[in-house]
Structure 1
Amino acid sequence: MYLLCTIGASLICFLLLKWMKRRRLCMDIKRLDGKTVLITGGNSGVGKETAVALAMRGARVIIGCRDPERAEKAVQEIKMRSHNLNVLHMHLDLSNLRSIRDFCHKFLEKEQRLDILVNNAGMPSVLDWTDDSFSMCFGVNHLGHFLLTNLLLGLLKESTPSRVITLTCSVYKFQKLDFQDLNYNLFPFFTYCRSKLANIYFTQELARMMEGKGVTAYSVHPGYVQSNWTCHYSILFRMLMQVVMFMFFVPCEVGAQTVIHCAVADEVTQHSGGYFSDCRHIALQSISKDPGVAKKLWEASERLVGLA
């Protein structure tokens, strides 16, 4: 009797976990032949799975990565899995504004078009600083992608219809932006939440500015994904999180589905500036729906990265 109860409880737990991890898949089969895609952090995790999926559809895929060795290894894997040889990497360090400018200069020299920009790379909640003295989360997750997108915006407009997809997270709702201290780095998790809220406001303001110009923008929560973000922490924490991720998080290829959906589906264009999760447009909480805050953040970001 005890054995039967144990087996029954285990089965129920297993089914419950499967139900909690269920996700929609992108069912759109659109091809991307002749299109150019740039994915930051495309050497691992959701970024790499997105690169594979878009390369399989015929796109020219460029991944931006700061580690040439890891990038080249990822490129070979993406080519093999997608059967597309038109995949390459370029050096990009989002924690260094000079590196971003150098990358964009080289990209604009080499590339004739940019149809889809996926701002995928990100830093977890770590207490660290960028080369330009910004908190690592805010500097990489928001400011780095803000500068990158702005420097490539001219090519995006020339390549219309084009799309900008920025990965965010549902933890955006736990913090507000403090314009007296955007570089807040006292509690790393709070800094991470603010950077993800900034991603959403950035997407909204970009969509407003590009309205009628052929460039649409989307923020995407890929879900909680079994990626390598724990590499920034101690061995003990990594071991603990491996168990948690196995039980509750989804594989990277599943996490990439909403990014792919926003890259190819025609239906998303009516929601430019919107927030997507599980291949659906999701209503945002009130904390992230103030157009005045979005405009103020854009102007503050311009000053911080030297665009103003």
Structure 2
Amino acid sequence: MGSNILHMRRKCKSERRLDGKVVIITGANTGIGKETALQLSLRGAKIYIGCRDLEKAESAVNDIKSVNPGADITSLKLDLSSLKSIRHFANEMEEREPIIDILVNNAGIMMCPEWQTTDGFEMQFGTNYLGPFLLTLTLLPQLQRAPKARVVSVSAKYYEVGKLYFDNLNLRNGKYDPTRAYAQSKLAQVLFTRELSRRLGQGSTVTCYALHPGVIKTDLQKHVFNNDPIRDILFLNTEMGVQTTLYCVLDEQLDTESGFFYE
């Protein structure tokens, strides 16, 4: 939190272009997902944003094009709390793009009430982990066709206090707590990044990264800080909040790294 208060977080300095590269960003209708889409569009990427609310997604596309008229960006329906929606999105991407260069698992939910996904999983575990897990593995063949591809997952430092409740992953029977569920989902994301990297192997053309973006003024905290003025003082704006994502997507020094967590 100290680096948030003092605004000491560094900016990504890579000047790498993404002309001709296909990028998928989940949850890019708002917050750092939207800023990620804008910044990568300015580097020439062909971008698909997968969002639950297509109306908001189209509004985000229009906002991005107002800043970057040349942006090549398309919105598609994607609800990470629905396995059916994920498979439909993946099928659509397979028809559109034989090769995917970058997947940014950005979408997430934080400390919500005890809700369930369409398929009956605890909402945070389902949306933050199971959804990106299925999406990543379903898109993996297209990622493996790229000369070099990256899978970047936006996690959080909350993983450090997380625990996997293997006997009750959905935290039912009175075990649900918003913070406990959130920390479990973020730990699962980090472990998935490490294990995917391990299984792909050292010589893989697909590299994997998990990250903590900082504490940022976005809709993510709506269940925790509801228009609390403290956010304006302590939290990062989206331009600074997106820098770690950009670092993991772009930086040349990470070309030979995989399976690590970045802050």
SS in 2 for 1:271: coil
- For residues 106 and 83 of structure 1, the distance between their equivalents in structure 2, rounded to whole angstroms, comes to 25
Question: What is the Cα-based RMSD across aligned positions, in Å?
Answer: 1.6
**CA positional deviation for 1:232:** 4.5
Separation of aligned partners in 1, 2:212 and 2:99:
27
Q: CA deviation at 1:160?
A: 2.8
Q: 5+ unaligned residues in a row in structure 2: which ranges?
A: none
Q: What is the aligned counterpart of 1:91 among 60, 77, 80? A: 77
Equivalents in 2 of 1:258, 1:204: separation in Å?
A: 18
TM-score, normalisation: structure 1: 0.80
TM-fit CA distance, 1:173: 1.1
How far the C-alpha of 1:80 sits from its partner, in A, is 2.1
TM-score (norm 2): 0.94
**Gaps (5+ residues) in structure 1?**
1-15, 278-308
Query: Does the 8 Å contact 1:17/1:247 carry over to 2?
Result: no
Task: State which of 87, 90, 98 in structure 2 corresponds to 1:101.
Answer: 87
Amino-acid identity (%) = 41
- The counterpart of 1:174, out of the listed 161, 167, 174, is 161
The DSSP-based 3-state class of the residue aligned with 2:11 is: coil
Distance 1:154 1:74 in 2: 29
CA distance, structure 1, for counterparts of residue 243 and residue 118 of structure 2: 33
In 1, distance between residues paired with 2:24 and 2:210?
A: 16
Runs of 4+ residues deviating >4 angstroms: 16-19
Would you tell me which structure has more helix in proportion to its own residues? Answer: 1
* 8 A Cα contact 1:39 1:120, kept in partner: yes
Q: What is the Cα deviation at residue 19 of structure 1?
A: 5.5
**Contact 1:166–1:218 (CA<8 Å) still a contact in 2?**
yes
Work out whether 1:262 is the aligned partner of 2:262: no
Q: Give the whole-Å Cα distance in 2 for the aligned partners of 1:201 and 1:84.
A: 38
CA distance in 1, matches of 2:99, 2:127: 25
Q: Structure 2 residue aligned with 1:193, among 178, 183, 193?
A: 183
CA contact (8 A) 1:113 1:155 kept: yes
1:138 lines up with 2:125 in the alignment? yes
Residue matched to 2:226:
238
Give the deviation of 1:21 after TM superposition: 2.5
User: Aligned pairs, how many?
Assistant: 257
Q: Distance in 2 between matches of 1:265 and 1:18?
A: 22
* Matches of 2:227 and 2:71, distance apart in 1: 36
- For residues 71 and 19 of structure 1, what CA distance do their matches in structure 2 show? 31
Matched, 1:214 2:205: yes
- Tell me what 1:280 maps to: none
In 1: Cα distance, 2:63 partner to 2:92 partner: 24
Q: Is the 8 A contact 1:115 1:162 kept in 2?
A: yes
Rate the CA distance shift 1:163–1:18 in 2: closer, same or farther, 3 A. Answer: closer
| Match of residue 148, structure 2, among 141, 161, 167 | 161
Does 2:114 correspond to 1:122? no
Counterpart in the other structure of 1:43? 29
By relative contact order (CA 8 Å, sep 6+), the higher-ranking structure is 2
Q: 1:18: Cα distance to partner?
A: 7.6
Q: Which amino acid aligns with 1:205?
A: E
- Report the structure number with the largest CA radius of gyration: 1
Q: Give the C-alpha shift of residue 84 in structure 1.
A: 2.5
Aligned to 1:172, the other structure's residue is in SS state helix
Question: AA paired with 2:28?
Answer: G
| Greater mean alpha carbon deviation, residues 181-190 or residues 35-44 | 181-190
